[in-house]
Structure 1
Amino acid sequence: MSADALGGGDLDLVAALQIAPRASMQVLAAALGVSTGTVSRRMARLRERHGVRIVGQVPWWLGGATPHHVWISTAPGSTNQVAAAVAELDEAQFVATTTGRADVFCILHPTRRADAADLLTRTLPSIPGIVGTHSEPGLHRFASGSSWRIERLGAQRERQLFEHRHGPLPAAPVPFGEEEREVAGVLQRDGRASAADVARELGKSASTAYRLTQSLLDRGLVQPRVEIEPALLGYPLEAVVSLATSASTMRDTATALATHPSARYVTTVAGTSSVIHQGVFQHDDDLARFLTDDLGRHVGVTAFEVSVVLRVLTRYWTPDRGG
């Protein structure tokens, strides 16, 4: 485990929140066998000292655009400045400096599909220090930060918490009303926002805010999740693995990789890669075993490239205090 990792009580709370991010203090306290005061103090410490947040993940198709995964090559000595400039973009969902394939890896998610061309051909190349980019749009997400979690609570406590978990993401896009989009925006920034918080921020009645909030959560249209630096959980090594596969095995490979313990983000893409696997690991040996043993089991994988994350600047649109 990393020397910077959290202690046992804090890890237990994070593990509980990964299962039930909106569970009440009373539910969390009962599951963890501590007082509500202890849970409240630990929550405040995680937030204030470590930048831990509960966010609401919204579907790709909410705005009609898919994210673009971009590898950026920079001029010598300009990598950090380029990464900082990219992190300032409104579309920047994830930004990190990396080794391997490029100097900077980012996930840029424009609000509308029509905005993607301008973002990739004008906005991004205009940043000083960028000498080249390679972009691959996402096709279908198989795993995300809302599904990755640490295992430490045991089956009984996990069952208690799963009763308070949000609904699953719909298998196919469903229509969003304008009011639902507004509420989704509030929950995206604060995944634990109450109906009262939503009503106050949007100027809606308490009953309307409650109805819209519960509808979005029950239908899985907003997926609350814990956003935390993986090193705090004992996973200091993060890597982005771009895989080329045969066409016939692309979906099966992504589906299988999404169940791997390291998988924080898995998606199929359109480009020179077929699948992107963003994973976290406890040791270099774990990454080595993943590349040689786990990927080796997938006969459809024809090639892969590895970008090891050096420093994260932005995770899910917010500056990363652990980076």
Structure 2
Amino acid sequence: MQSPSPDALDLKLLHALQVDGRAPFSRIAEILGVSDQTVARRFRKLRTTAGLRIVGMTDESLLGRQSWIVRLRCTPDVAEQLANALARRPDTSHVDLISGGTEVLCAMEPRSRQARDELLFDRLQRTPQVISVSAHCLLHTFYGGPLGWLDKTQALEPGQEAALRLPYSEPIAAPIALEGADEALLAVLRRDGRATFSELQTSTGQSESAVKRRLERLRSTGILYFKVQHDRESLGHGISAMLWLSVAPSALDAAGRKLAEHHEVRFAGATTGQANLLATVATSSTSELYTYLSEKIGGLDGVQAVETALTLRHVKQLTYEPSR
């Protein structure tokens, strides 16, 4: 039996969590004009029906790290096994099966050059069933990071969104070196962005006051932000696709900024490679995807070529849960 689609209040809750993933239910309830119990009940329901998770993420650029998009062509018999192996790695954030199940697309944030080279030049290249490997370094993000697709729903009124949004301090010089205590805290928040202070204290061995200070510093500097993970199908987006656009260098920035404004776009970034603009889009149907490609993508200046690949299965979306 298919679960009912989220209603207006569900969307407001999801949008609120995208703005501040750790906002107390009491605060969200006050802003939405409902009871604490209603917010808690809706949250539990969305965890079950829409796979709702709040995940702590880090801005890799502030840490002096690179983000890579790796595309693997492999034999059909190994694609799923390879995707699951990549999904288990802590330095991958997204892993998808695309193109008839013969390609794996992976977003990775290696912690060091050695870790990157070990994966790209050693393990993957030595896997016999892997036919080809192409790796593209993310140069600039036009849409993504702290911004998620839920920000485009405008489910919250501007005043409600402003009331939830946390103030940020002045920009800080990168790269920033994390301490071991920071890494321990981030490891827990990557599994559960709404872990309580008591849970964070127990898991990291730090005092609750130290946990609060570190969490506040990591958030205020922009190093730590929170993303809402959810099943896209439950929100009416049954089609997910990857777009590789080849854009004239002089038009790249304008095309990327315009792409970021499209309601269908969940991520857009400039990368190395011949296809220098990457986008993840979601639509309700293939006919809607066709309209999007022919009208909105077709209307972008400077686009010389476009390759489209449907996502068959999301193996990892921020978190990896093989049982689901």
Distance 1:76 1:19, change over 3 A: closer
SS of residue matched to 2:202 = helix
Moved more, 111-120 or 183-192: 183-192
Structure 2 unaligned blocks of 5 or more:
none
Q: Distance in 1 between matches of 2:64 and 2:11?
A: 37
Q: Distance in 2 between matches of 1:59 and 1:184?
A: 12
Contact 1:64 / 1:111 at 8 angstroms: preserved in 2? no
Distance 1:219 1:85, change over 3 A: closer
Distance 1:314 1:252, change over 3 A: same
Pairing of 1:149-298 with structure 2 (within 5 A):
149=150, 151=153, 153-155=155-157, 158-167=158-167, 170=171, 173-178=174-179, 179-298=181-300
Pairing 1:20–2:23 present: no
Contact 1:265 / 1:278 at 8 angstroms: preserved in 2? yes
Give the fraction of aligned pairs with identical amino acids, expressed as a percent. 27
How many equivalent residue pairs? 318
SS of residue matched to 1:297 = coil
Pairing of 1:294-309 with structure 2 (within 5 A):
294-309=296-311
Structure 1 unaligned blocks of 5 or more:
none
Tell me how far 1:319 sits from its aligned partner.
Answer: 3.1
Scaled by the length of structure 1, the TM-score of the pair is 0.87
Contact 2:72 / 2:130 at 8 angstroms: preserved in 1? yes
Q: Distance in 1 between matches of 2:153 and 2:31?
A: 15
Deviations 1:27-68 (A, max 9, x none): 222233322112112212322454311011211235533222
Distance 1:305 1:168, change over 3 A: farther
Q: Distance in 1 between matches of 2:172 and 2:264?
A: 23
Q: Aligned AA for 1:11? A: L
Tell me how far 1:98 sits from its aligned partner.
Answer: 0.9
Q: Distance in 2 between matches of 1:87 and 1:225?
A: 18
Pairing 1:6–2:5 present: yes
Q: Aligned AA for 1:312? A: H
Q: Aligned AA for 1:186? A: V
SS of residue matched to 1:193 = coil
Tell me how far 1:19 sits from its aligned partner.
Answer: 2.6
Q: Distance in 1 between matches of 2:6 and 2:175?
A: 41
CA RMSD of aligned residues (A): 2.7
